[in-house]
A and B are shown apart, each in its own frame.
Chain A
C-alpha cells in the first residue's frame, strides 16, 4: 500500500522560497505514475500545482509556472517542490499525491500547512 508523507518548514517569510519534500513508502517512485503537488488555501478549494514522472519530465500549472520547480530523487524515493517569491496568497495546505494514468489521484499525503508571514 503506497503512502506519502510531506515534510518541510511550516513558516516561510514573504519573498522567500517554499520547499517541501514528499517521501513515498510502500512502492517505488519509478513505477508508471506521475507524482503531483496540490494545494488548498484555508477555507478554499483545491489547486493543482504540477507533477513529475520518475524520468524527470514535468508539467506545471501555468499560473505558477514561473515560480515553481518540482524535482525527483529516485535514490531516496521522494519528490520535492520549490516555490519562489512567495506571498501571503501562497499560504495553504500542500498535499503530495500519486496520479494514475486514468485512475485519478490516489493516494494523497496527509497535507502540511505552510504559512507565509514575517
Chain B
C-alpha cells in the first residue's frame, strides 16, 4: 500500500496569511493526488484534483502543486471560512489512502 504522510498535523494562522500544507507519498504517484477540506460536522469537499486542478466553484486562493512523491496545498490568503481540517488523498492506485489531516485554525 502507498502511505501518505501529511504535515503539519495542525496550524494556527492569521486572516490574510499564506498557508502551506504538504503531503509525501511513499512511492511515485505521478499527479494522482487530491485535496479536501472538512468543516466541523460536514462531509469532506473536493478542492483540488490531479495535484493542481482547481475543482469548479472553489475559490482561487486555493492552489495545489507537485508531482511524483511531494505535493503542496497553498491557501494564498487565509479567510475565516477556511477553518477546517484538510486531507490529501492518493488516488493513483488502490487501496486509496488519505493523509492524516491538518487542522487549520485562526
Q: Mark A1-43, 1 if CB is under 8 A from B, else 0.
A: 0000000000000000000000000000000000010000000
Q: Write the B28-66 contact mask toward A (1 if CB under 8 angstroms, else 0).
A: 000010101000001111101110010100000000000
Q: Is the interface of B mostly helix, strand, loop or mixed?
A: loop
Residues of B within 8 A of A45 (CB): 87, 98-101
Q: Sort chain A's interface into a size bin.
A: 20 to 34
1/0 per position for B64-106, CB-CB distance to A under 8 A?
0000000000000000000000010101001111111100000
Q: Are B98 and A46 in touch, CB under 8 angstroms?
A: yes
Contact between A48 and B97 (Cβ–Cβ < 8 Å)? yes
Given A46-B98, A48-B95, A59-B95, A109 and B43 touching (CB < 8 A)? yes
Tier of interface size on chain B = 20 to 34
CA A105 – CA B45 in complex, angstroms? 8
Residues of B within 8 A of A36 (CB): 96
Give which listed residue, B1, B44, B53, B96, contacts A108 with CB less than 8 A: B44
| 30 A–B contacts from the bound complex (CB under 8 Å) | A45-B99, A45-B100, A45-B101, A46-B87, A46-B89, A46-B98, A46-B101, A47-B98, A48-B97, A51-B94, A51-B96, A59-B94, A59-B95, A95-B43, A99-B91, A100-B49, A102-B32, A102-B91, A103-B50, A103-B53, A104-B34, A104-B46, A104-B48, A105-B34, A105-B44, A105-B46, A105-B91, A106-B55, A110-B43, A111-B43
Residues of A within 8 A of B (CB): 36, 45-48, 51, 59-62, 95, 99-100, 102-111
B residues near A (Cβ < 8 Å) are 1, 32, 34, 36, 42-46, 48-50, 53, 55, 87, 89, 91, 94-101
